[in-house]
Amino acid sequence: MQMSDSIGELTKALAAAQVEMPKVIKGALNPHFNSAYADLADVVGPTLPVLAKHGLAVMQLPGGGIDNQSLTTLMTHVSGEWISTTMPMFVPQANPQAQMSALTYARRAGYTSMVGIAPDADDDGNAATEAAKAAPARTPYKGRVIDTKTEYPQPPGVTTDQRAEIKALLAAIEITTPDDIALIVGSHIGRQLTVAGLKRITEAEAATAIAKIKEAA
């Protein structure tokens, strides 16, 4: 995750655009599972004009080499602010069809994540994952039973003081709604957060977000 020094104007514009986003209709059919899903055109077509209305644009650029292909999704605002994220693309077969299938799937996933559209149940990435079906089944592990609570303890969660500090820092730059706070904190710790997810970040993640918010202020 990368971004400009400030994303306050971008965040305001995206929040306003999200309120006006139309419902994304599942207009495509996956023949392998006989289920409907929203393809790339279904997602981008009705939402792009809303983004443009609020001074936002989304660009998606493939990159990397044969063995490490990736897709970068970049959102820009007329103010010059921007935010981008890069996701790897897994192409198990070395042919154009598999590559385009993986690219289309990655573009839709990157776009919906960046814009904040609730994703549908995705069953359509079959061409990019066909090779995984031929993989041999794993033999269940029959070793000792692991007590995950003692051997893999969970890191401490965000503290009350940290929550209050994050809220105060963002309020100072006029970011006050729970959705906007979750968006900003998520961008600083490198993952997309919902309002509920914001309450479950770790103490270390909260410290990182606080430090980056102060740097950007």
Domain locations along the chain = 2-131, 151-216
Give residues with Cβ within 8 angstroms of 147, minimum separation 6. none
Q: Return the sign of the alpha-carbon dihedral for residues 92, 98, 100, 101.
A: negative
54 neighbors 10 (Cβ within 8 angstroms): no
- The span from the CA of 73 to the CA of 88, in Å, is 11
- The span from the CA of 26 to the CA of 155, in Å, is 39
Residue type, 38: A
- The span from the CA of 164 to the CA of 73, in Å, is 32
Give the pLDDT confidence score for residue 21 in this predicted structure: 86
What are the per-10-residue average pLDDT scores of the chain (217 residues)? 93 93 63 55 84 94 82 95 90 72 83 78 49 52 52 76 91 84 84 84 91 80
Give the pLDDT confidence score for residue 33 in this predicted structure: 43
Give the pLDDT confidence score for residue 16 in this predicted structure: 94
Residue type, 207: A
User: What are the DSSP calls for 36-62, one per residue?
Assistant: EE--HHHHHHHHHHHHHHTTEEEEEEE
Give the pLDDT confidence score for residue 38 in this predicted structure: 60
